[in-house]
């Protein structure tokens, strides 16, 4: 639940910051004496909604390195045998996936058994592996996990998720402002205009923020639902490269090794190999399907 709250807070803060700037500067180009210009409002929200998402994407590698303490491996001169083995494996899997550029490869110190890929494009990607995964998984399972992350890069999932988040941000801002305008108008029709009817400046801002927070929860359900579909595709991609049994073996080891989760960078949860959670909240906001379902999906692959 902590991961869910932190992830929602990260995205919500983007919307709040934009809304605060807009309100402080009095920028409401979509409002006129006749009411709301819906086309102008949609364009306005799209610009700000996608801007926040793409700024986050452009900073994703930098953020991941500092938040998770990722130590990059010198791919031309690996410092030790294990690093050389990782570079060789990633190089081979990238070749099989048809990638023309190698991602940055790094290891972060954490007891969690996980790995993630992030970055603004295939040519500017980062693939990071936890020390917990390397110490608790055998070579075959590590290959399955890395193949899964390489598939995310090859499929352009980081950009796709950013586009989806931009759409979510856009419509959260759009509908929150429409609903606030309607509430303000409803109050004005009941109040005496001489007493300053309606929400008032501060009330207008606070109601907009409240509605955005509620709508963001519902929008995030859609984002997480797509994220779960994306995991099945990444599992299938790894199975095509290394064999179905290898990916099933990796998931089985992942299920047995599941332990503490590293929450230093909650926004990266959708880019890791494994997500955690139980109950209704996990069902609606889980970035990954249950491992048992992922294994069953692999078994059905032809």
What pLDDT, on a 0 to 100 scale, did the predictor assign at position 101? 94
Instruction: Note whether 270 and 3 are within 8 A (CB).
Output: no
**For 137, which DSSP code?**
S
Instruction: Note whether 84 and 78 are within 8 A (CB).
Output: yes
Helix (H) or strand (E) run with residue 154 in it = helix 139-155
How does the average pLDDT of the chain come out, rounded? 83
Instruction: Note whether 61 and 255 are within 8 A (CB).
Output: no
pLDDT in tens, 13-24: 666 666 666 666
Those residues with Cβ within 8 angstroms of residue 65's Cβ, 6 or more apart along the chain or in another chain: 72, 106, 126
Question: pLDDT confidence of 197, banded at 50, 70, 90?
Answer: low
The model's pTM is 0.79
Q: Which residue has the tokens 């693939």?
A: 127
Mean pLDDT, residues 118-140 taken together:
93
Instruction: Note whether 30 and 44 are within 8 A (CB).
Output: yes
Q: Point out the residues that are catalytic.
A: 149
Lowest-confidence segment of 18-22, 217-221, 265-269 by average pLDDT:
265-269
Residue 127 forms beta bridges with which residues?
A: 105, 117
pLDDT at 105 over 60: yes
Other Cβ atoms less than 10 A from the Cβ of 96: the count is: 15
What pLDDT, on a 0 to 100 scale, did the predictor assign at position 22? 60
* Closest-CA residue to 153 (of 200, 105, 112, 192): 105
Question: pLDDT confidence of 44, banded at 50, 70, 90?
Answer: confident
Mean pLDDT, residues 181-186 taken together:
88
**For 103, which DSSP code?**
P
Domain residues of the chain, as ranges? Answer: 1-302
The span from the CA of 221 to the CA of 7, in Å, is 12
C-alpha distances out from residue 115 to 132, 233, 252, Å: 10, 17, 16
Question: pLDDT confidence of 194, banded at 50, 70, 90?
Answer: very low
What pLDDT, on a 0 to 100 scale, did the predictor assign at position 2? 43
């Amino acid at each position: 639940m902590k991961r869910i709250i932190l992830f929602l807070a990260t995205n919500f803060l983007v919307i709040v910051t934009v809304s605060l700037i807009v309100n402080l500067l009095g920028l409401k180009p979509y409002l006129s004496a006749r009411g709301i210009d819906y086309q102008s409002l949609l364009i306005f929200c799209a610009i700000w909604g996608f801007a926040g998402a793409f700024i986050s994407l452009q900073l994703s590698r930098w953020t991941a390195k500092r938040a998770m303490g990722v130590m990059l491996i010198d791919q031309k001169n690996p410092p030790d045998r294990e690093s050389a083995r990782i570079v060789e494996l990633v190089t081979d899997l990238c070749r099989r996936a048809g990638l023309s550029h190698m991602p940055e490869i790094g290891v972060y110190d954490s007891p969690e058994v996980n790995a993630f890929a992030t970055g603004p494009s295939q040519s500017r990607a980062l693939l990071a592996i936890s020390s917990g995964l390397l110490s608790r998984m055998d070579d075959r399972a590590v290959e399955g996990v890395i193949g899964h992350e390489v598939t995310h890069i090859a499929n352009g999932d980081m950009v796709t998720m950013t586009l989806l988040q931009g759409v979510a941000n856009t419509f959260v801002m759009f509908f929150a402002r429409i609903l606030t305008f309607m509430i303000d108008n409803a109050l004005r029709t009941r109040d005496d205009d001489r007493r300053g009817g309606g929400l008032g400046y501060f009330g207008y801002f606070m109601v907009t923020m409240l509605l955005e927070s509620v709508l963001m929860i519902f929008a995030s359900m859609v984002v997480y639902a797509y994220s779960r579909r994306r995991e099945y595709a990444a599992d299938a991609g790894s199975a095509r490269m290394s064999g179905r049994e290898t990916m099933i073996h990796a998931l089985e080891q992942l299920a047995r090794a599941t332990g503490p989760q590293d929450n230093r960078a909650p926004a990266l949860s959708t880019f890791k190999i494994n997500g955690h959670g139980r109950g209704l909240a996990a069902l609606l906001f889980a970035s990954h399907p249950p491992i048992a379902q992922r294994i069953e999906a692999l078994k059905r692959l032809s």
